[in-house]
Structure 1
Amino acid sequence: MDWFTAPGYWLGRLVFQRALAGVYLFAFVAAALQFRALIGAHGMLPVPRYVRYVPFRRAPSLFQLRYSDRLFSGCAWAGAAVAAALAAGAGDLVPLGAAMGMWALLWLLYLSIVNVGQTWYSFGWESLLLEVGFLAVFLGNARIGPPVLVLWLLRWVVFRVEFGAGLIKMRGDSCWRDLTCLYYHHETQPMPGPLSWFFHHLPKPLHRVECAANHVTQLVVPVLLFTPQPVASYAAGIIVATQLWLVLSGNFAWLNWITITAALPAIDFTGLTGAPPPAAARAAPLWFVVLVCAVTVLVLVLSRHPVLNMVSRRQVMNRSFDSLHLVNTYGAFGTVGRIRDEVVVEGTAEPVPREDGQWREYGVKGKPGDLRNIPRQFAPYHLRLDWLMWFAALSPGYARDWFGPFVERLLAGDRDTLRLLRHNPFPDAPPLYVRARLYRYRFTTWRELRETGAWWHRTLLREYLPPTRLAEASWSEPE
């Protein structure tokens, strides 16, 4: 069946599989290290409570059948171990069926986590990892050539990621159309990186070039993925380069890395390097051919809703249309903020809280806090609390479900919650009161940085949560 495989793309498949396993590894490690405070049995949004009200058909997961923190931890670390093995090349050392089983296990374990993760796992890159991970099950290993149909399905994923994001920008904020969005974006993005301050201070004409290049990369280049080689390779290369630019300019968990990973199989590495395919590769077995054809038909059928969403004037971002996250719709930054507000959480040990009392600030890992701390690089690792704190500053409605439980755990000195923070100002005993205040943050200028050593400047806006003690730690939206 010469039509079924493309042996020349063996190197692209190898790079793709190693990179995807690496992304899976970050995802599982992040889940293992953060879940107890977020969704554990005693977490802010406990899985046992969630599965009591959400049926299996709406959120299929192994944890619908049974949950314990020990089981969740075991699944997360098992996923990390399998991902590490696949990153090291274990999938090419076993029979085809065994390799497919390893990839399927990763997909099943991570699906089980995402489907009970609630708000903490509501990001588009979760669905993107699951969609790409599902297709990886059917990409084969070194014993057969890469299936042509799956290679095209991966291009279809990249097309929807880029083209969908491009459309929602053009339909959304006017600053994308007048090429001014990047005047603000590097400063107001959810989690700036160590170079974001410098990106923000680039000349405005260069920001306009960035914006125009983004439109070309997202609205024109993805179409070229479906053209003959070498044009498709050039298109994939442009997408990879653009995603690396985004990696340098901010922290977006593994969104950029999984997009790069999915684009790699479109590059004809063999044509570029002249490396011959492995001699061990042979014809695909009939059962595998039938299975890949069936999966291709399934993906095409499920693509109906994402395509209708893309062409709709009411296009939405980051939506899954099936509970298995097999074919999804994507998009980012249809609206760009012009200002940056941050929720700063403080505690005091004083028995009577006073406005001018001794309040100590909790340090955070990724989002802005201390004015003299330059933003750090965390991506592709995902700091879920930091991301949700950014949303909480946009609107208290985004924090309705979890902010009260978060404050309760600070007042109780919960170790798992404190591990999510950069700095605990109460190492000996928890505070008696906790409050939250809303600040307006902005990057300092070159002159301010030289004079003060501060990367940020902030101004107090208002109270976000009044002083609260443990018996009172219930959350209601401020008026």
Structure 2
Amino acid sequence: MDWFTASEYWLSRLVFQRALAVLYLVAFLTAALQFRALIGQRGMLPVPRFVARMPFKHAPSLFQLHYSDRFFAACAWTGCAVSAALVAGLDSYLPLWAGMVLWLVPWVLYLSIVNVGQTWYGFGWESLLLEVGFLAVFLGNDEVAPPILVLFLLRWILFRVEFGAGLIKMRGDECWRKLTCLDHHHETQPMPGPLSWFFHHLPRPLHRVEVAANHVTQLVVPVLLFTPQPVATAAASLMILTQLWLVLSGNFSWLNWITIVLALSAVELPSDPLSVPDAPLWYEVVVLAVAALLVGLSYQPVRNMLSRRQVMNRSFDPLHLVNTYGAFGSVSRIRHEVVVEGTSDDVPREDSDWREYEFKGKPGDPRHWPRQFAPYHLRLDWMMWFAALSPAYAGSWFGTLVERLLENDRDTLKLLRRSPFPPDAPPRYVRARLFRYRYTTWQELRETGACWERTYVREYLPPTRLAGVAQRS
């Protein structure tokens, strides 16, 4: 049926699918390389402890049925392998039903990971990857033209991502309404990138223009996604440019990249229409049923967007089929960082030989220039940013982190850039202190070579040692 498919979008579908598969690959690689220290059997928030108290219906996951570190690793690396196969286009060589099953595999595996990931997987882009990944199952392959309903639902996700983020800003921090948020944001964002220092030092009038342009892109342009071409393509292209600007300004995991991928599905790329047979009846029935389900589930996100008490980044069902999104409803004016230190001294004094642990992404040594990690996600570094905002964000895992550092735990140390202690000589004490960080000025950068200047604020965690370890006399 002509109304069911849009053959002119076959190239857009192809680009979308391959790009989404790349993000799946990054997500599974992140899980495979970090899970043992975070949610493994000896992790800071172990999966077995979580599933023991969480019913399957509230967090459906393969790991509710069985968990071991070896099984988790097998699932994560299987996800990497399937994602790589999708990047290579294996689904195009399979029958339609088999291609759909192949796309279903990474969705099931990543849903299983997110639903037991707890605090470490509480970010909006986790649900966004799952919501987009679920729709990708029904987008078809070379045997059928792209279904119009699925293309529409992808635009509906993009609309909610952008429009929801725009609304949360206008309803949240007054600096968004005053156009002054970017006076602070580049300095206080969770994980600055290599260009963030320069973005912060752009002229303030330009920051005002950036905020105003952001409001237009998030509150006006999304409506144009549902207009005829070429207006929809122009709207999606503007969103892509905006997201690339954000990619340059900081490390936001794959949030910006998946938004770009979504926008690509709305761009009508120049190509000859795909000549394929009509879609089989069973496929049309499945797509219609899924579309009806997702439209019905959209009630909650729409209600949330219309509410004065709008919330960000929430899933309304355990399968993460339809979610609400948003980012930076409020912007911090001051940057605090938790600096973790250890000492081998028998008695911890202020003048002891305290050595600082260096993290991969979060600010530490003022002379260490930030690096680009996104779309790879440094989960511990992100949560350390939240820990600096309030100890309440770290209450469930920070104590275990300190314990693992006191043990020189190999998996935990892999999450760090550098440990100041050799593998066979762990520290006797670990402490944490809170510092205020600010970007240096141009003159300070030339004189010191440091991009940060930090000032001690207070003790965050007093010197702590392992229980049962006797103090040497």
TM range, normalised to the smaller chain?
Answer: over 0.9
Structure 1 position 278, deviation (Å): 4.0
Identify the residue that residue 107 of structure 1 maps to in structure 2: 107
**1:36 counterpart letter in structure 2:** R
CA distance in 2, matches of 1:58, 1:314: 24
**1:285 counterpart letter in structure 2:** P
Match of 1:388 among 379, 383, 389: 383
Give per-residue Cα distances to partners, 1:326-346, cap 9 Å, x unaligned.
000000000000010000000
Identify the residue that residue 409 of structure 1 maps to in structure 2: 404
Does 2:410 correspond to 1:439?
no
CA distance in 2, matches of 1:302, 1:322: 9
CA distance in 2, matches of 1:190, 1:183: 15
Match of 2:287 among 289, 292, 296: 292
Give per-residue Cα distances to partners, 1:205-244, cap 9 Å, x unaligned.
0000000000000000000000000000000000111000
Identify the residue that residue 397 of structure 1 maps to in structure 2: 392
CA distance in 1, matches of 2:45, 2:468: 19
CA distance in 2, matches of 1:75, 1:48: 16
Greater shift, 281-290 or 235-244, is seen at 281-290
Identify the residue that residue 199 of structure 2 maps to in structure 1: 199
**2:24 counterpart letter in structure 1:** Y
Structure 1 position 88, deviation (Å): 1.0
Identify the residue that residue 323 of structure 2 maps to in structure 1: 328
Does 2:252 correspond to 1:244?
no
Counterparts in 2 of 1:291-370, with a 5 A limit?
291-370=286-365
Structure 1 position 276, deviation (Å): 1.2
Structure 1 position 25, deviation (Å): 0.3
Structure 1 position 356, deviation (Å): 1.2
Q: Give the alignment's TM-score, normalised by structure 1.
A: 0.97
Does 2:370 correspond to 1:372?
no
Partner SS state of residue 375, structure 1: coil
Does 2:293 correspond to 1:276?
no
**1:408 counterpart letter in structure 2:** E
**1:38 counterpart letter in structure 2:** L
CA distance in 2, matches of 1:237, 1:369: 37
CA distance in 2, matches of 1:277, 1:69: 48
CA distance in 2, matches of 1:276, 1:169: 41
Structure 1 position 282, deviation (Å): 2.2
Counterparts in 2 of 1:20-39, with a 5 A limit?
20-39=20-39
**1:460 counterpart letter in structure 2:** Y
Aligned length: 468
Q: Could you tell me whether the CA contact under 8 Å between 2:145 and 2:274 is conserved in 1?
A: no
Identify the residue that residue 413 of structure 2 maps to in structure 1: 418
Gaps of 5+ in 1: 474-479
Structure 1 position 122, deviation (Å): 0.1
CA distance in 2, matches of 1:97, 1:42: 40
CA distance in 2, matches of 1:45, 1:336: 28
CA distance in 2, matches of 1:282, 1:243: 37
Identify the residue that residue 135 of structure 2 maps to in structure 1: 135
Identify the residue that residue 477 of structure 1 maps to in structure 2: none
Give per-residue Cα distances to partners, 1:399-456, cap 9 Å, x unaligned.
0000000000000110000000001100241100000000000110000000000010
CA distance in 1, matches of 2:214, 2:200: 16
Q: Give the alignment's TM-score, normalised by structure 2.
A: 0.98
Q: CA RMSD in A?
A: 0.9
Identify the residue that residue 463 of structure 1 maps to in structure 2: 459
CA distance in 1, matches of 2:221, 2:91: 32
Give per-residue Cα distances to partners, 1:104-158, cap 9 Å, x unaligned.
0110000000000000000000000000000000000111100000000000000
Gaps of 5+ in 2: none
CA distance in 1, matches of 2:65, 2:185: 43
**1:134 counterpart letter in structure 2:** F
Q: Percent identity?
A: 74
Identify the residue that residue 255 of structure 1 maps to in structure 2: 255
Q: Could you tell me whether the CA contact under 8 Å between 2:8 and 2:274 is conserved in 1?
A: no
CA distance in 2, matches of 1:234, 1:444: 39
Partner SS state of residue 277, structure 2: coil
Counterparts in 2 of 1:102-181, with a 5 A limit?
102-181=102-181
Structure 1 position 277, deviation (Å): 3.3
Q: Could you tell me whether the CA contact under 8 Å between 2:131 and 2:323 is conserved in 1?
A: yes
Structure 1 position 382, deviation (Å): 0.2
